[in-house]
Each structure stands twice: as C-alpha cells, then as structure tokens.
Amino acid sequence: MSITRRDFMKSTVAASAAAAVGIPISQIAKAEVAEAEKDWQWDKAVCRFCGVGCGIMCATKDGRIVATKGDPDAPVNRGLNCIKGYFNGKILYGKDRLTQPLMRMTDGKFDKQGKFAPVTWDQAFDEMEKQFRRAHGELGPAGVSIIGSGQYTVQEGYVAAKFMKAGVRSNNIDPNARHCMASAVAAFIQTFGIDEPSGNYDDIEYTDTAVLWGANMAECHPILWSRITDRKLSHPDMKLVNLSTFGNMSSSVADLEIIFKPNTDLAIQNYIAREIVHRDAVNWDFVNKHCVFATGPYDIGYGMRNTDKFAHDAEKDIQAKENAVVLDEAEAVAQRRKAGETVEQKNAGGAGKHWQISYDDFKTAVEPYTLDFVAELSKGDPDESLDDFKVKLKQLADWFIDDQRKLVSFWTMGFNQHQRGTWVNEQCYMNHLLLGKQAQPGNGAFSLTGQPSACGTAREVGTFAHRLPADMVVANPKHRERSEKLWKLPAKTINPKVGSHIVKIMRDLEDGNIKFAWVQVNNPFQATANANHWIEAARKSDNFIVCSDPYPTVSAKVADLILPSAMIFEKWGAYGNAERRTQMWREQVPPPGQARSDVWQVLEFSKRFTVKDFWGEQKLPGLKADGFEDGKLPDVIAAARDMGYSPDDNMYKVLFATPANTKVAWPDPVAKGHDNHTVVALGENWFPEKALFEEYAEFGRGHEHDLAPFDVYYRDDVRGLKWPVVDGKETPWRFNGEYDPYVPKGEKFAFYGKALKAIPKGNLDGVTDPNKTAHTDKAKIFFRPYAAPVEQPDKNYDLWYCTGRVLEHWHTGTMTRRVPELHRAVPTATLFMHPADAQSRNMQRKDVVWIESRRGKIKAVLETQGRDRMPKGYVFLPFFDEGVFANKIALDATCPISKETDYKKCAVKVYKA
Amino acid sequence: MNISGIYVLTSPDRLEECCANLAGLPGVEVHYRDVNSGKIVVTQEADNVSAEVDGLKRIKALPHIIVAEFVNHWFEEDQEMVSEIPPDLDDFEGLRHARVPDYLHK
C-alpha cells in the first residue's frame, strides 16, 4: 500500500471516528470519508451481544459485511462500541460456521450412536417429526420441549412460543434468560405488578450516585460504564460504589469498594433499611401514598430436587438441605430464631406467596441488622480491618439517606444468580421506595440485563414456561381467554399448567419425563450448572436433541440433529434492551450455504402437524385447574371446526399463515432493496417478520406494553423506542406522571402493574387474615431476611467458587471465540486466586490446576494477578470456555421463587494437576 | 494491515500529557483533541488484528486514561469461509477433557 493511500485511509478513519464521538470535523474530512466508503452500503442495526443494546452501523459490499461502527445517532452508545461490538461483523465469518443440517447417521439412517453427516433439510425435518411424534405420543404435550433464548429476536421468540402454547398445547418452552433475568422478573412482578425497569440509561447523566451491586459494569457493560465514567468526570460530586465479592475492574474509579461475603448482600441491604428507620429518614409522603409493606415465608428451600434419586453420593449432603436445614448463628439472629434449630423447608412449593404486614412489623424485622452484626457477617476480605469495613458500610448508608443526593442502584448477575435472587432484588426496591428514590430521573433501582433481548423477547413475548405475551400467565383463566381470542383458538386450547423451566427441562430429560428438546439460539448444555448430569441425559437412548446454531457448540455436539441457523445480520429482526427500547434491523447479507433463520425453521416444522395431531384430548399428568378434568386437556377439534378450521389444517396455516397475516405483503417498501431469505425459502409472498410482529403487538397495545407500528422502527430518524409507545411517544420513566401516560392524570406516581396486587394480611410469622385486599397503584416494600448459602466452604472443599464473564467474551463464547482477535485476547479461561492461597497449596501462577467440587472436576490455568483481585478463600472462573467448562462443577441450586440458578457461590478445592 | 480509529477520554487538564503519551506508542497518531471535554481520537496502525487488540490494551494502560475504545476500523483481509464439518464435532469424548478445540488455533 502506498504511503499516500495509507495516510488517506488514516485520516478518513480518524474523521469517521471523530464524527462518531461528537468531535467536529471539516468539510474536507467529510468528503474524504465519503470517497473512501463510496461502494459501501450503510444501514442501521443493533449489536448482537449484551443487554445494553448499542446501535451500530453496518456496511455491506457485494453481499458481505465489510465494516461496522458505533452509531453516532444511537442514544445508548453515541457512536461508541466495546470490543465485542466492534467485531460484530466478524462473528458471521468464523471458519467453522455450520452451513448444512447435520445428523448422527450410520448406513444412511439416523443412529443415536452414529457420526454427524450432512443431510437435506427434508431429511432433517423428517427425522425430527418422527422423533417429536414418538415423544408426544408416549408422554403427551409435557414430553416435548423447546429451550429458547434471551437472544431470540422478538419474532423468533413469538413463533416458538405460539407454536408450543397455541399449537402443541405444551408450556415446556423456557429460555436461557431464566439463568439470567428470572429473579429480576419475579421481583418486578411481586413489587410493581409489571415487568421491566422504570428508569432508563439517562439516569446515569441525572444522578449523583451510582451503586453497583454485583455488576462488574467495566467488563460486562463497557458502554454504560463509559457513560458513568463520563458523568463522574463532568460532575465532581458524583460518587461511585462497587459492591462485589472480589475486586474487579469496576473498582478502578470507585469512591468506595465494598468486598462482601457471598449472600450477605441480603444483610447489607437490611442494614441500610434499619438506618433509614433509625434516622427517621422514611419518605412518608411517598410511602403512605404509593407503598404497602409485605413479607413472605423464609423456609423456601433452594430450588434443588427434593429427592436424592439422581444425586451422586458426593452431592447427597447438600441435596438433603432442600428438605431441612440447621440454622447457623447469623441466620438465627437475622431471622429471630435459635441457632442450631432444624427448619423443615415447608414452603419450597409456595415460595412466592406473600402478605401485607404493618410498618411496626417491618421495623421489628430489620432491627437485628445493626452495623456490628452486619459488618461482622458480611466483611469479605480477611485482610481488611473490621473498623475500615464499618466506615464503608456507614458511608454507603449516608449516601443512600442524604435527601439532597440522587441515587441509582445497578445490578446484574450478582443479584439475579442468587439462591435468594428474588429477595435481594426486592430489597433493593425496599430501600429506594423507603426513601422515595424511584422512578425519577437519576433516582431508581435499575436491573440491567445480560442478553440483547431478554426484556424485549424472553420476557415481553413470554417465552417462559409460565408466561403468555404482555405479562400474562398461563395459570390465569382471564389471560388464557384473552390470548385464545387474539390467537383465534377454541376455548381451553391453552394449557393452564405451568411447564418445566430450563433447569427442570434438563432434570426431566434425565428422569424420562421429557424425551424431545429443541435448542434454539443458545447453548444450554454448556450454560446450565451441574452440566455432567445433563450431558449424560442428552445422550440417553430415548432422548432426541435438536440444536439450531450457526456454530458447533457443546449443545450441538451432544445433539442428535444440528440445524444451521442464520445469524443476526442475515435475517430481519427486533431486539428489546434493558431500558425497554425496541430496535429493529433489516437483513443485510444472505446466510451462507443452507443456513436459515430460526423463524423459517419453526414455520417450516409447523407444516408437518395438523389440528387433529394436537387439539384432540391430551393427557397431562398433574394438571389440576378450574374447568379442566384432572390430568387432561380437552378435545377442542369440534369447537375448532365451528371456527372454520378443518382437522386436517396444518399448524403453519392455523397459527402463522393466517388470512390476516398473509395480507401483509412481501416485497415491502420498508425493505429499501434489502432481501428476506425467510420469505424466499418459504416460497411465499407475505412478510412473516412484519405480520407476526404486528400480531404480537396487539397483546400489549392499550395494556401498558404498547409497541409502535413495525415500519416506524425502520425510519431513518428513529433509533429504537422505549415502550410503552403511546400516541407515537415513548415512555422514558415509568410510573411517573410527568413521563408515563398510564399514570392517572394529576397523580405524581402510580405503580399501576396489575399482577399480585391483592394480598392477605399477616405478621412476620404468617397470614392472620386470609381475605385479600387489593393495593391498586401501589408498590410493595418487602422485608426479606438474610439466609446462608446452601453450600459453603468446609474442610474438604475449602474455597468459594464463582463464575462469570470477561470483557472479550460473551456467554459461552459461541460467537466471540470465532473472532480470532477476541480469542487471542483471552484464549482460555483462567482461574483467579489470591497469591497467598496459591502459595499455601504449593502452586504458582500459570500452573495447570484441578478445580474439584461435589459435582466433578475440571482443569484450568492458575492466575494470581491481573484484572480480578480475589480475597483469600475465594476463586473466580469465567464460563465462556468450553475446554475448561466452568459449569460442570457449579451447583444447580436456584432461587426457589424465580428458579434462576445461583452460579455465584459453591464450594471447591483446588490442587495441582 | 489494520487501521483502527480509537476514542480516548481523559480529564481536560491531562489532555496534553495524554496526547504526548499516545503519540509515543508504536503506530499511534493523534488526529483530534477537544480541550473542553478531554476527548481524543487516534488512529493505530497494526500488522494484524491481534496486534490491534494488543495496541488498545497498551492505550488503556497509560496513566489518566478514563475511556479507550475502538470506534471503527478498516482492514484488508481474506474473509473466505470454509464449508466443511468441523473436525472435532463428533468428539463428544473431548467434552470430558479440559482443552481448547484445535480448529480455533488454526
């Protein structure tokens, strides 16, 4: 390359970067950029990775992506990209991209023990249909399942959920978002009666204080982090607190770093609440008008199986705690009981129930959480003095309580992946609500997400085992009725029994209750804790596993059939991010080889089943619901006939290619010349992504979940819109009368969510008056106690073990490990450990070590320096690396309310390999 | 040959010092600076994308850097795709051992 050409490219790259970050550039520089990019076609798109939802610009040339950059007009990231976002265009071009269906075969036939061989899509669907019919025939709708995703586009999640819930009448669809967001969701619903955060990212620029609770934002949400550091720099009074179980990159600019012991965040929050009470700092105007106090049972188990039938010997002592635990000293104080008392976990099946209590009860409940008690219990770094730690806790409480100070709490997996995840989320709202610091610019408790459409798809569309679109649930007869009406289904088509959540689908595969699983847009066999069990289960002879993925993941390897999927920019789609912002993109390039979109895969598969396959009487073990015969879903074929369906109509026609949907024509001017391979492969002339989005949006419009018309999101001047979008206007702060059209006129605030508003009355010990009172427009302030982790270090397994992410890789590394530069930056997962812990085990940095838990052992390279600083007694291992496989040894205990796994705490030993 | 555009943020009173440090790094040129906000845009020239990532890490390690992130890049390289079955796809046994798949090293 000539010097002139090189200099020219440099100045255009610099000018383009400067424009992106808001530095003015000259007309000449602008012209140079235009010249350099003259053959490129730029279009707006969204980053494929985390829940922040950065806007990116995507350049194509001759059917290839040639460049991506941060979108300067995107309000989320304002032109910036983190290192993962920067390489968005490259994740499509991994050397091992799957481009044809692969099935395990011997002598030209499917064989569970066979080797993968290429097959046609027809052959793939033929075998898949056969296996689906086998499992469905033997076990009914409960015997088949889909493992879905927080990375589904809105349309992918919608077609998968509709196929299962309206077609198959099975609620066994649950996303990997269960591992990520379920605790946040349960707390939203219990506290506010509606899902999703009230604030938005602009809170960062309005606040004076940001408190990170178990969220390493610097590594996991780098773009929001850049906004926080920006705010800190431009606003000298801005304070930043990083609460974590180990020192991480987010501590670098923190004013306060609080290292606490696992699970003691429960105690720290109650300490803050006690301080609020004792300093007479409750915002009574706010609390009296908008809140009600509540609590629930403490004896709720740990979300493990209540039988040891499937446990290996080493697992049995922990499993036994699912049925009864002996309270330790701290739990006894925290729960006002006696140490050494055995508590049967009687409410493991009803963990979510709760009732109203008085403020006096609440005061009594937080009284034990004195500074002395909480500091002693929660101090996480043995090398820190207790006095220093107390000063920090007190400072934190001071900042919370200072009525001149705005404050935002951010959290992600530290709270959500927690044996008491729902509780700890609710405690955060407790303190914000007590102080009236919620739902205002710069004030609020803000749950961040890990996946690009955990909010927009997994939650809003309702791809969970208990949900329907727009916050409705299968167990509620009115919600089923409304869904059946919108979906044009006969009454009682929808199954009222909650299906298996993702961990239970794995357990069901192990114990023979589910025999067909279709994995879509995620990698559950690497991502689910205690993975050895589930890998063995997948390989059991009568289980059939289908995995749709662009790359050969662990889940693909343990599958029987692999379907090659189109990736983000190879299809039309929409994501909804953590601040309720829906963003859409067009298909930019065609998928390689025979890869196809997940929408096409579900639509095509649905053609193979008819009304009479699914809508006759179905057995459903354990079903008990009003209006239903025990253990049975009724025959609705006659009712369907009355509605104009023939028993031989296929599900594609009944559910997807409906008369209304097929009127939405392709081609469509909104495409502006972009293609749609889903339409081409279907051989149709309707536009599924648009028609199905509009059909889905009907659920939420007028019901606090309004989405704008499809075409609006594609307008050049739109960079996503925050729902609810009412009369063309987005909602920046929910529940706040100034910003939210759903708040009744004249009211300052209204927590108007409709779910779980009516609750009985009681005291700290239980319900005293079972008659329910409806607390319309109010939020609940929950008291939740400290509870000890179910598995803790002991003499044999003497270290805490925590898993998580690193900056360069995302999730299980399926995409990021295909980008050579990201892979080279962090090729393998290393085990972080305190140098003194290494020394006392005769180990050195870079040694290969075994990490062993009750559930198995894995090998990794030891690291005692670098970005993460462990306190003594604590180790951290990232989970992106399938070679190291962190989740093999992690415990599959979950929050009993949300069923979300706690990946953040179990006990291991580490020794030289 | 890779040229990347990198956004750097420092406090305005450290701007000069930061620009001098940046200019001293291999392949780095400072193109834009904003005295009011402390924003800087540099380009970095690197032989390959691996060196590009290392370069960003070097920038992040400089004193007084608050933010350093890639914004865009320009590269000339082969994007050919290989449509063959990944060699270790059938290696289910491989999952039992701790190692990185070979194809990632190629």
Residue of A880, A800, A806 lying closest to A834 (CA atoms): A800
pLDDT band at B99 (very low <50, low <70, confident <90, very high): very low
> Structural domain boundaries of chain B?
2-74
A722 vs A573: CA distance, rounded Å: 17
A181 is catalytic: yes
Q: Looking up tokens 């031989």, which residue turns up? A: A648
Residue A556's closest chain B neighbor by CA?
B89
For residue B105, pLDDT beyond 60: no
Bridge partners for A42 per DSSP: A59
A451 is catalytic: yes
Residue B9's closest chain A neighbor by CA?
A230
For residue A454, pLDDT beyond 90: yes
Q: Can you tell me the mean pLDDT for B78-95?
A: 50
Residue A86 pLDDT: 75
Q: Can you tell me the mean pLDDT for A535-548?
A: 93
CB B92 within 8 A of CB B23: no
Full residue range of the structural domain in which residue A172 is found: 102-181+456-612+624-658
How many residue pairs bridge chain A and chain B with CB atoms within 8 Å of each other?
A: 170
Residue B104 pLDDT: 38
For residue B106, pLDDT beyond 50: no
A84 is catalytic: yes
pLDDT band at A21 (very low <50, low <70, confident <90, very high): confident
A40-44, A419-423, A553-557, range with greatest mean pLDDT: A419-423
Task: Report percent pLDDT > 90 for chain A.
Answer: 82
Q: Can you tell me the mean pLDDT for A504-533?
A: 95
CATH no. for residue A65?
2.20.25.90
Residues 6+ positions from A133 with CB-CB distance below 8 Å: A613
Residue B89 pLDDT: 59
Residues 6+ positions from A514 with CB-CB distance below 8 Å: A135, A139, A142, A143, A144, A145, A172, A500, A505, A508, A543
**Cis preceding-peptide flag for A667 (omega within 30 of 0):** yes
pLDDT tens digits for range A298-313: 999 999 999 999 999 9
Examine residue A423 and state whether it is found in any structural domain, yes or no: yes
Which listed residue (A180, A506, A651, A870) is catalytic? A180
Residue of A233, A209, A226, A191 lying closest to A410 (CA atoms): A209
Residues A444 and A571 in one domain: no
Q: Can you tell me the mean pLDDT for A883-892?
A: 90
Please tell me if residue A7 touches chain B, with a CB cutoff of 8 Å.
Answer: no
Residue A460 pLDDT: 96
**Cis preceding-peptide flag for A724 (omega within 30 of 0):** yes
| Mutation site for A-interface testing, chosen from B69, B73, B92 by largest number of A Cβ within 10 Å | B69
B39 vs A21: CA distance, rounded Å: 8
For residue A205, pLDDT beyond 90: yes
Looking at per-residue pLDDT, the higher value among B20 and A36 belongs to: B20
Residue of A538, A509, A512 lying closest to A525 (CA atoms): A538
For residue A1, pLDDT beyond 50: no
Q: How is residue A487 annotated by DSSP?
A: T
For residue A209, pLDDT beyond 90: yes
Residues A419 and A370 in one domain: yes
Say yes or no for a CB contact (<8 Å) between B100 and A827.
Answer: yes
Residue A23's closest chain B neighbor by CA?
B34
Bridge partners for A247 per DSSP: A869
Looking at per-residue pLDDT, the higher value among A222 and A726 belongs to: A726
pLDDT band at A20 (very low <50, low <70, confident <90, very high): confident
pLDDT tens digits for range A124-151: 999 999 999 999 999 999 999 999 999 9
CATH no. for residue A901?
2.40.40.20
Residue B76 pLDDT: 52
Residues A129 and A40 in one domain: no
Please tell me if residue B99 touches chain A, with a CB cutoff of 8 Å.
Answer: yes
For residue A439, pLDDT beyond 80: yes
Residue of A529, A420, A321 lying closest to A897 (CA atoms): A420
pLDDT band at B80 (very low <50, low <70, confident <90, very high): very low
pLDDT tens digits for range A651-688: 999 999 999 999 999 999 999 999 999 999 999 999 99
Residue A713 pLDDT: 98
Residue A825 pLDDT: 59
A304 is catalytic: no
Residues 6+ positions from A301 with CB-CB distance below 8 Å: A322, A323, A345, A347, A348, A351, A896
Q: Which 545-584 residues of chain A touch chain B by CB within 8 A? A: 552, 554, 556-558
CATH no. for residue A270?
3.40.228.10
Least confident of A389-393, A694-698, A880-884, A906-910: A880-884
Say yes or no for a CB contact (<8 Å) between A13 and B4.
Answer: yes
| Mutation site for B-interface testing, chosen from A6, A76, A86 by largest number of B Cβ within 10 Å | A86
Total number of domains constituting chain A: 4
Q: Can you tell me the mean pLDDT for A760-767?
A: 97
Q: How is residue B59 annotated by DSSP?
A: H
Residue B52 pLDDT: 77
Bridge partners for A619 per DSSP: A632
Who among B5, B57, B82 is closest to A17 (CB)? B5
A592 vs B contacts (CB less than 8 Å): 81, 83
Mean pLDDT of chain A: 94
pLDDT band at A889 (very low <50, low <70, confident <90, very high): very high
Question: What's phi and psi for B50, nearest 5 deg?
Answer: -65, -45
Domain boundary pick from A89, A116, A146: A89
pLDDT band at A827 (very low <50, low <70, confident <90, very high): low
Which listed residue (A181, A249, A651, A843) is catalytic? A181
Say yes or no for a CB contact (<8 Å) between B39 and A97.
Answer: no
Residue A895 pLDDT: 98
Q: Can you tell me the mean pLDDT for B67-86?
A: 60
For residue A470, pLDDT beyond 70: yes
CATH no. for residue A608?
3.40.50.740
Examine residue A314 and state whether it is found in any structural domain, yes or no: no
For residue A17, pLDDT beyond 90: no
- SS3 state of residue A518: strand
Residues A504 and A640 in one domain: yes
Residues A287 and A390 in one domain: yes
Residue A64's closest chain B neighbor by CA?
B79
Examine residue A773 and state whether it is found in any structural domain, yes or no: yes
pLDDT tens digits for range A578-637: 999 999 999 999 999 999 999 999 999 999 999 999 999 999 999 999 999 999 999 999
Examine residue A592 and state whether it is found in any structural domain, yes or no: yes
Residue A600 pLDDT: 98
Residue A589 pLDDT: 95
Please tell me if residue A19 touches chain B, with a CB cutoff of 8 Å.
Answer: no
Please tell me if residue B102 touches chain A, with a CB cutoff of 8 Å.
Answer: no
Element (H, E) at A316: helix A316-319
For residue A556, pLDDT beyond 70: yes
Say yes or no for a CB contact (<8 Å) between B81 and A95.
Answer: yes
Task: Report percent pLDDT > 70 for chain A.
Answer: 98
pLDDT tens digits for range A69-110: 889 899 999 888 877 777 777 777 777 889 999 999 999 999
Residues A813 and A779 in one domain: no
Residues A135 and A117 in one domain: yes
Q: How far is CA A186 from CA A6, A193, A526, A898, B36, in A?
A: 55, 9, 25, 6, 45
Please tell me if residue B24 touches chain A, with a CB cutoff of 8 Å.
Answer: no
For residue B78, pLDDT beyond 60: no
CB A247 within 8 A of CB A257: yes
A87 min Cα distance to partner chain B (Å): 9
Residues A30 and A153 in one domain: no
Say yes or no for a CB contact (<8 Å) between B72 and A884.
Answer: no
Residue A214 pLDDT: 87
For residue A799, pLDDT beyond 80: yes
pLDDT tens digits for range B41-57: 999 988 766 677 778 88
pLDDT band at A253 (very low <50, low <70, confident <90, very high): confident
- SS3 state of residue A891: coil
Return the exposure string of A288-318: e unless at least 16 CB atoms fall within 10 Å of the residue's CB, then b.
Answer: eebbbbbbbbbbbbbbbbeebeebeeebeeb
DSSP A163-197: IIIIII----EEEGGGGTTHHHHHHHHHHHSS-S-
pLDDT tens digits for range A843-857: 999 888 999 999 999
Residue B103 pLDDT: 40
Residue A824 pLDDT: 59
Say yes or no for a CB contact (<8 Å) between A253 and B66.
Answer: yes
Residues A424 and A479 in one domain: no
pLDDT tens digits for range B6-16: 999 888 999 99
Residue B90 pLDDT: 57
Residue B94's closest chain A neighbor by CA?
A883
Q: Can you tell me the mean pLDDT for A754-759?
A: 97
Residue A629 pLDDT: 97
Residue A227 pLDDT: 92
A113 is catalytic: no
Residue A81's closest chain B neighbor by CA?
B71
Who among A6, A23, A539 is closest to B41 (CB)? A23
Pick the CATH number of B2-74 from 3.30.70.920, 3.40.50.920, 3.30.2290.10, 3.10.20.740: 3.30.70.920
For residue B96, pLDDT beyond 80: no
Residue A30 pLDDT: 84
Q: Which 37-66 residues of chain A touch chain B by CB within 8 A? A: 64
Residues A463 and A445 in one domain: no
B102 min Cα distance to partner chain A (Å): 10
Say yes or no for a CB contact (<8 Å) between A14 and B85.
Answer: no
